[in-house]
Structure 1
Amino acid sequence: METPKNPTPVNQRIREGLSRVAMAMRTDDWNRAKTSGLNPTQLAILELLEGREDGLSVKEIAANLGVSQPTATDSITALERKGFVAKRSAGTDKRGVNVGIAPEGLSVLEAVRSSQSVAEQSVDALADHEQEDLLITLVKMIRHLQEIDAIPIQRMCASCRYFAPFSHSDVAQPHHCNFVNAAFGQRDIRIDCREHETADPASRAATWDVFQQG
C-alpha cells in the first residue's frame, strides 16, 4: 500500500500527471477538430504541415504523429477531398510525392485557433518563471525522446544548426539565432520553428552540452 512514507516512484507520479494533462488535451483536440468537420488526426496533420513549404511524405507524417501509414493515408485522403491538403512533387525525385497544406487548410487552422485551448489556459495559470521552467523541462524531455529514437527529430532550437546557446552575457537574452542574427531569451526557445535546419549529430551534442550547462 502506498503511503507518504512509501510513495510510488517520482517518475511514475510525473507520468500520471502528464497522462491527466494529455487526457484534457485529447478532449480539447476532439472539440477543436469537430468545429471544422475533422477528427483529431486530420487536424494534427494540418498543424504538422503548416510552415513546411516542401510538404512531407506519408511516411514522415505517420512517424511524426505516431500513427500507422494506413491511418495517415486515410486521413490525408479525407483532407485532400476537402481541399485542405494537396500532393506535390518531392523535390528532385520525380517519382516521390509529398503532401502539403493548401490555403483552405491554413484557414481551418486559423479558425480553430481563434479560441484558447484548455492546455493554454492551464499554462496561463502559472507564474512567468514557472512557464519558463516548464518550457525548458519539456525541451529536455523531448530531446531525450529524440535521442532514444522514440520520436523523430523535432524542429527545436536545441537541434538546430543556427542555435548558439549562452553566447551572450545578457541574462535576459543569452542565446543567439544565427538565422535571424539576433539574441533571444529562455522564454523564446522554440519547440517547432519553421526556419529549423537540423544540425549534424556532433554539433547537436556539443550545442546541448552548452545549453544544459548554461
Structure 2
Amino acid sequence: METPTDPTPISHRISEGLSRVAMAIRSDEWTKAEATGLKPTQLAILDYLVGRKEAARVKEIAAHLGVSQPTATDSVAALERKGFVEKTSAAGDKRAAAIGITSAGRDALQAVGAVEDAATAAARTLPAQEQQDLLMSLVKIIRHLQEADAIPIQRMCATCRYFRPYQHKGAAKPHHCDFVNAAFGQSEFRIDCRDHETADPATRAATWDAFQEG
C-alpha cells in the first residue's frame, strides 16, 4: 500500500498527472470534433494542414499525428467526402497525391477553435512564472520522447532550423527566430509552430545543447 512516507517515484506520479490532463484533452477533442460531425483524428488533420504552405502526403500526415498510414488514409477519405480537403498532385511527383485543406475545412476548424478547452483554461489559472516553468518542462519531456523515438519530431522551436537560443544575452527576450527575424522569450516558446522547418539531427543536437547551457 502506498503511503505519504512511502510514495511511488515522483517520475511515476508526474506521468500519472499528465495522463489525467490528457484525459481532459481527449474529452475536449471529442466534443469539438463532434460539433462539426468529425472525429478527433480528422480534426487534427485539418489543424495540421491549415498551417502548411503546401499540401501534404498521407505518410507525412500519419507521421505527424503518430497514427498508422491506413488510419490517416481513412480519415482523409472521410474529410474529402465532406469537402474539407482535396487531393492534388504532389510536388515533384505527379503520380502521388497530396492533401490540401479547402475553404470549407478552414471554416470548420475556425468554428471549433473559438472554444477554449478545459486544459487551456486550467493552465491559464497558474501564475505567469509557473506557466513558463511548466512550458519549459514540457519542452524537455517532449524532446526526450522524440530522441527515444516514442513520438515524431514535433514542430517546436527546439527542433527548428530557424531557432537561435540565447542570441541576445541578458535580454528579456534572449532567443531569436530567423524566420521572422525577431527576438522572443521563454513564454513565447512554440510547441507547434506552423512555420517550423525541421533542422538536421546535428543542428538539432547543437541547438539543444546551446539552449540547455543558456
Runs of 4+ in 1 over 3 A off after TM superposition: none
* Whole-angstrom distance in 2 between the partners of 1:62 and 1:24: 23
Deviations 1:38-57 (A, max 9, x none): 11111111112121122222
- SS of match in other structure, 1:191: coil
How high is the TM-score relative to the length of structure 1?
Answer: 0.95
Aligned counterparts of 2:136 and 2:11: Cα–Cα separation in 1: 17
Check the 8 A contact 2:55/2:100 in 1, yes or no. Answer: yes
The match for 1:26 is 26
* Deviation of 1:191 (Å): 1.2
In structure 1, what is the equivalent of residue 62 of structure 2? Answer: 62
> Matched residue of 1:136: which SS?
helix
> Matched residues in 1 for 2:149 and 2:141: separation?
13
Counterparts of residues 3-18 of structure 1 (less than 5 Å) = 3-18=3-18
TM-score scaled by structure 2? 0.95
Q: How does 1:93-112 map to 2 (within 5 A)?
A: 93-112=93-112
Give me the whole-angstrom Cα distance separating, in 2, the residues matched to 1:42 and 1:140: 28
The alignment status of 1:113 with 2:96, answered yes or no, reads no
Q: Which has the higher mean CA deviation after the structures are superposed, 63-72 or 32-41?
A: 63-72
Q: Distance in 2 between matches of 1:152 and 1:89?
A: 25
Determine the C-alpha separation between the residues in 2 that align with 1:117 and 1:170: 35
| Equivalent residue number for residue 137 of structure 1 | 137
SS class of match (2:86): strand
1:85 and 1:99 in contact (8 A); partners too: yes
Work out whether residues 53 and 100 of structure 1, in 8 Å CA contact, stay in contact via their aligned partners in 2. Answer: no
* Count of paired positions: 214
Q: Please, which runs of 5 or more residues in structure 2 have no aligned partner? A: none
1:186-205 paired onto structure 2 within 5 Å: 186-205=186-205
In 2: Cα distance, 1:132 partner to 1:73 partner: 37
Give aligned-pair identity as a percent: 64
Unmatched tracts of structure 1, length 5 or more: none
Deviations 1:139-162 (A, max 9, x none): 111111111122221111111111
